């Protein structure tokens, strides 16, 4: 018996809607890196205009650090669904899962080196290799592993803040490498494709530093494990049945997540509050967002209204890479040369505009085809 990829009839619309929703959040976050000299600056102290500060703070509260946990949980959810399907059909999951991750890793490397340095596919594939080692465990164990691994990191860093006496110390403006900032502005703003490529290699030395790979095992893998646990419980597929769980969980996570993420702005911006905003408030809010979509999909008419978002989610890999191609052409000098020439408000509107166009493209694509182009290519390589 050959293992087959998920068919259209087997898809879970709510999961696809969540994937489509996460594509928008990821683009809103990534947009800063397309028109500013990231990762060599601190966004928290970079802006000086009041309008830019307000727009950045809004994105920082509602979007930043909340969509990588969401996407990580969806990644874990999807991989666990494949594992359970393999068990049902009597196929060895470990014959094809590593192949999928290798293909994803290679695709991510191509993306990082030739399109945009801020790739997430490589990190997700890397953590995915560890995730598949855990999938044999039950949902309770998966949830425990995820919470314990992430909790260890939280206790470690919060302990450092307390021992170093930094918990209540106000955040100072971080020192930056002026030379690296100027190099990025020159290469992307007025340089050729070759200049941009060479600068991308420098940026990758930061983005793919060994410390980032180690950190990903405590900041990405735990949420994949939690997502896998949710999949084994079928929490999203059973949304209506479990509304007594989802409704209060959504309210609590949205309220608590937004409070923690607002804390540095409501009170003094200390090192501890800044850390909690990113690594505690962000993930809690992401669960709130998942719950919000699940709850909305309980309303009979809304899944139909959100169908365009689901279609974008069905080809999320294609659209993710397309976002990088479009933004590179928009902002870098070998394209339209908008690098450093837009403010935060305009960058946000551009991101929303690109996403709307992508949703329309997905709608048109699925009139004729059943899968996104990259999704189809990857599945052909995996399943032959």
Per-block average pLDDT, block size 10, for the chain (384 residues)? 50 91 95 91 87 95 94 96 92 91 96 94 96 96 96 90 81 76 91 93 89 92 97 94 95 97 91 92 96 94 93 96 96 93 96 97 95 92 80
| Per-residue model confidence (pLDDT) at position 314 | 95
| Per-residue model confidence (pLDDT) at position 375 | 93
Q: Which residues pair with 157 in a beta bridge?
A: none
The residue written with tokens 């735990």 in the block is 222
| Per-residue model confidence (pLDDT) at position 9 | 46
Q: How far apart are CA 314 and CA 23, in angstroms?
A: 11
- The reply to whether 358 falls in a domain is no
The residue written with tokens 């999320």 in the block is 316
Residue 170: phi and psi, rounded to 5, are -70, 140
Residues with Cβ within 8 Å of 75's Cβ and at least 6 positions away in sequence, in order, are: 124, 128, 224, 227
Cis peptide before 176 (omega within 30 of 0): no
DSSP secondary structure letter of residue 95: G
Cβ atoms of 24 and 362 within 8 Å: the answer is no
Q: How far apart are CA 194 and CA 333, in angstroms?
A: 11
- The reply to whether 353 falls in a domain is no
- The reply to whether 291 falls in a domain is yes
As given in the structure block, the two tokens for residue 354 are: 């690109």
- The reply to whether 378 falls in a domain is no
- The reply to whether 258 falls in a domain is yes
- The reply to whether 379 falls in a domain is no
Range of the domain at 287: 30-302
Q: How many residues does the chain have?
A: 384
Q: What confidence tens digit (pLDDT) does each residue in 257-282 have?
A: 999 999 999 988 888 899 999 999 99
Residues with Cβ within 8 Å of 9's Cβ and at least 6 positions away in sequence, in order, are: none
Alpha helices per DSSP H over the chain: 13-35, 43-46, 50-62, 67-89, 97-114, 121-134, 139-163, 178-189, 193-207, 210-219, 221-233, 243-266, 271-276, 282-296, 302-305, 307-314, 316-331, 344-368, 373-383
- The reply to whether 231 falls in a domain is yes
**175-180: which pairs have CB atoms within 8 A and are 24 or more residues apart?**
176/40, 176/41, 176/42, 177/40, 180/37, 180/40
**4-7: which pairs have CB atoms within 8 A and are 24 or more residues apart?**
4/383, 5/379, 5/382, 5/383, 6/81, 6/82, 6/85
Of the candidates 106, 93, 105, 95, the one whose C-alpha atom is nearest the C-alpha of residue 134 is 93
The residue written with tokens 């293909």 in the block is 103
Residue 225: phi and psi, rounded to 5, are -65, -40
Query: What's the whole-model pTM score?
Result: 0.92
Q: Which residues of 279-301 are buried (b: 16+ CB within 10 A; e: fewer)?
A: bbbbbbbbbbbbbbbbbbbeeee
As given in the structure block, the two tokens for residue 101 are: 């991750």
- The reply to whether 230 falls in a domain is yes
Overall domain count for the chain: 1
């Amino acid at each position: 018996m050959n293992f087959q990829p998920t068919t259209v009839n087997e898809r879970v619309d709510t999961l696809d809607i969540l994937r489509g929703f996460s594509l928008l959040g990821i683009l809103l976050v990534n947009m800063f890196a397309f028109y500013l000299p990231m990762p060599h600056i601190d966004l928290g102290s970079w802006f000086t205009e009041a309008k830019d500060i307000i727009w950045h703070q809004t994105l920082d509260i509602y979007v930043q650090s909340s969509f990588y946990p969401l996407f990580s949980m969806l990644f874990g959810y999807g991989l666990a669904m494949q594992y359970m399907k393999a068990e049902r059909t009597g196929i060895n999951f470990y014959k094809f899962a590593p192949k999928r991750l290798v293909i994803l890793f290679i695709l991510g490397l191509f993306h990082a080196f030739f399109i945009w340095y801020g790739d997430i596919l490589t990190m997700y594939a890397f953590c995915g290799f560890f995730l598949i080692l855990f999938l044999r465990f039950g949902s309770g164990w998966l949830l425990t592993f995820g919470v314990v691994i992430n909790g260890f990191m939280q206790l470690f860093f919060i302990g450092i803040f307390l021992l170093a006496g930094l918990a209540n110390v106000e955040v100072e403006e971080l020192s930056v490498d002026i030379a690296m900032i100027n190099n990025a502005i020159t290469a992307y703003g007025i340089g050729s494709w070759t200049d941009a490529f060479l600068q991308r290699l420098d940026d990758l030395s930061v983005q793919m530093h060994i410390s980032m790979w180690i950190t990903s095992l405590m900041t990405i893998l735990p949420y994949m494990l939690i997502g896998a646990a949710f999949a084994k419980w079928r929490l999203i597929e059973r949304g209506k049945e479990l509304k007594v769980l989802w409704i209060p969980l959504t309210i609590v996570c949205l309220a608590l997540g937004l409070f923690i993420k607002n804390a540095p702005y409501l009170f003094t911006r200390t090192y501890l509050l800044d850390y909690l905003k990113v690594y505690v408030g962000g993930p809690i809010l992401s669960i709130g967002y998942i719950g919000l979509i699940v709850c909305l999909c309980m309303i009979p008419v809304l899944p139909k209204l959100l169908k365009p978002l689901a279609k974008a989610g069905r080809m999320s890999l294609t659209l993710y890479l397309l976002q990088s191609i479009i933004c590179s052409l928009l902002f870098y000098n070998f394209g339209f040369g908008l690098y450093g020439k837009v403010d935060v408000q305009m960058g946000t509107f551009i991101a929303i505009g690109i996403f709307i166009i992508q949703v329309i493209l997905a709608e048109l694509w699925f009139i004729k085809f059943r899968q996104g182009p990259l999704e189809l290519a990857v599945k052909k390589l995996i399943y032959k």
